Amino acid sequence: MTLTDKQKEKIDEKKATLPDALKRDKNIDYTEGYFFITLNTRDEVPVLGSIEGRVGGTTEEDMPHVQYSELGKKVMEVWKSIPQYHPQVEIIAAEAMPEHFHGLLYIQPQHGEHLGQIVNGFMIGCTHAYWDILGIEWRNMQREQCMGKSAIARKAALQWQDRDHSYSYRGPSVFVHGYNDVVPITQEEVQTKIEYICTQAEKRLIRGENAPCFRLNRGQQSSWTTETALAVIARDSFFKNNAAACQNAQETVAKRLTDGLDWIGDKQVLMCERKLPLVCHRLDIDRFEQQKEAIIAVAREGAVIVSAFISPKEREIRDILFMEQLPVIEIMDNGFAQRYKPFGKAFYACAERKLVQFTPWKYQYDREAKISREMCLVMNELCRTICQCNDDWWKK
């Protein structure tokens, strides 16, 4: 039994619409280095386990953790078995969340095996384990599929007509086709990924306890408009003297802007009457300490600080605000993906109801995205619009 033409056509359609995040980057060498991968279960069904424990739990049973299902246990076992089939691979960390899987591994150099081959084998192993749990006699069906065929025909039948890792007529797959990968460059980033994996269960419980703070809100209407964004570009000293660059920047920005604003965080932060913008200009670099002191002082008095936190100086102030759990509205340089949530310190600031993140942008997946001059202008103008005051208030 093989896939019908209609089934093959449907598979091809899904491949064509595969999100960029699930595609490989042609500029990356996937045969050596550290890789952090994420795979989603089919239809995001929570078949791998459930989140147990409580935030702040101290005993082994009470601490946040994933209670693996039978399939979840098998998935973790298959991941740990990868070095048996690929000796050049070092398994570093992994976690099977109810509806997705995170894994961190290292491929030793000069072996030539692609990450995709390793992940493909892992996904096949997980699906075969799933079929065993479901009682599907897949081994016999596999043999029947190949009987009476030449070696080339058998290989083609198994490889193209029945992909065990993502689609098959013999039974359901565990994971969807494709996977997301992140390439940590330094040891510090590798450690960050390990910590990310280890805190997944706790963060899921925190999000559950503070669900309204982590709910995405789309299309918030305000006094902010596309015309406002384009006007600030036209007023900039650089673009004033370069009409062609100005037009190109405006066209680029117009394509990226959302209809309204998207946000996530605590609504009470938005409702604060006193909001003040933070923008660090190069001309004020000698007065930075004065600006920092003014910002921290008003935040301690209850004002909400609004900033895109683009420059190192702005981020220095942000770190102090987060450390003291002072209220912040952060303008983001990208839109929110469907399952977006704040990360790092911002996650905990959101959980503490001290953070709102705004974005005027449509989500765009780009591994090497850079913030352009026109984007900086637009985000800083949005800060001023939200606060209804200029960013030089601290000088007065």
Q: Is the pLDDT of residue 150 over 80?
A: no
Distance CA 174, CA 97 (A): 13
Taking residue 197's Cβ as centre, other Cβ atoms within 10 Å add up to 18
Kindly provide the b/e burial profile for residues 348-384, where b requires at least 16 CB atoms within 10 angstroms of the residue's own CB: ebbbebbbbbbbbbeeeeeeeeeeeebbbbbbbbbbb
Q: Is the pLDDT of residue 1 over 50?
A: no
Average pLDDT of the residues of the chain? 86
CATH number, domain with residue 25:
3.30.70.1290
Residue 330 binned pLDDT confidence (cut-offs 50, 70, 90):
very high
Whether 169 and 237 map to the same domain: the answer is: no
Whether 77 and 60 map to the same domain: the answer is: yes
Predicted local distance difference test score (pLDDT) of residue 30: 83
Distance CA 385, CA 387 (A): 5
Q: Is the pLDDT of residue 365 over 70?
A: yes
Percentage of the chain lying above the pLDDT 70 cut: 85
Predicted local distance difference test score (pLDDT) of residue 180: 80
Segments in the chain forming alpha helices (H): 5-16, 70-80, 82-85, 115-134, 138-146, 151-160, 187-198, 200-209, 226-235, 237-240, 243-256, 267-271, 288-300, 312-323, 345-351, 373-387
Whether 49 and 183 map to the same domain: the answer is: yes
Whether 43 and 134 map to the same domain: the answer is: yes
Percentage of the chain lying above the pLDDT 90 cut: 63
Predicted local distance difference test score (pLDDT) of residue 325: 92
Which range has highest mean pLDDT (32-41, 303-312, 331-340, 369-378)?
303-312
Decide if 193 contacts 182 (C-beta within 8 A).
Answer: yes
Predicted local distance difference test score (pLDDT) of residue 264: 96
Whether 116 and 166 map to the same domain: the answer is: yes
Predicted local distance difference test score (pLDDT) of residue 13: 59
Q: What is the pLDDT of residues 103-131, one digit of tens each?
A: 999 999 877 788 989 999 999 999 999 99
Whether 63 and 200 map to the same domain: the answer is: yes
Whether 61 and 146 map to the same domain: the answer is: yes
Where is the domain boundary, 157, 177, 206? 206
What is the mean pLDDT of the segment spanning 255-268? 92
Where is the domain boundary, 168, 189, 206? 206
Domain count of the fold of the chain:
2
Q: Is the pLDDT of residue 65 over 90?
A: yes
DSSP state string for 278-294: ----GGGGGGHHHHHHH
Predicted local distance difference test score (pLDDT) of residue 148: 55
Distance CA 177, CA 168 (A): 12
CATH number, domain with residue 389:
3.40.50
Which run of H or of E encompasses 360?
strand 355-361
Decide if 113 contacts 86 (C-beta within 8 A).
Answer: yes
Q: Is the pLDDT of residue 98 over 80?
A: yes
Q: Is the pLDDT of residue 22 over 50?
A: no
Whether 173 and 240 map to the same domain: the answer is: no
Predicted local distance difference test score (pLDDT) of residue 273: 92
Distance CA 372, CA 364 (A): 14
Whether 354 and 259 map to the same domain: the answer is: yes
Q: 170 is written with which tokens?
A: 């013999």
Decide if 387 contacts 306 (C-beta within 8 A).
Answer: yes
Where is the domain boundary, 191, 206, 221? 206
Decide if 166 contacts 177 (C-beta within 8 A).
Answer: yes
What is the mean pLDDT of the segment spanning 185-208? 89
Whether 58 and 198 map to the same domain: the answer is: yes
Looking at residue 53, the DSSP 8-state letter turns out to be: S
Q: Is the pLDDT of residue 300 over 60?
A: yes
Predicted local distance difference test score (pLDDT) of residue 140: 74
Structure-model confidence comparison of residues 23 and 21, the more confident one: 23
What is the mean pLDDT of the segment spanning 359-373? 83
- Measure CA 85 to chain center: 30
Predicted local distance difference test score (pLDDT) of residue 269: 93
What is the mean pLDDT of the segment spanning 297-303? 95
Its domain, for residue 10, covers: 5-206
Whether 97 and 32 map to the same domain: the answer is: yes
Whether 270 and 135 map to the same domain: the answer is: no
What is the mean pLDDT of the segment spanning 392-396? 90
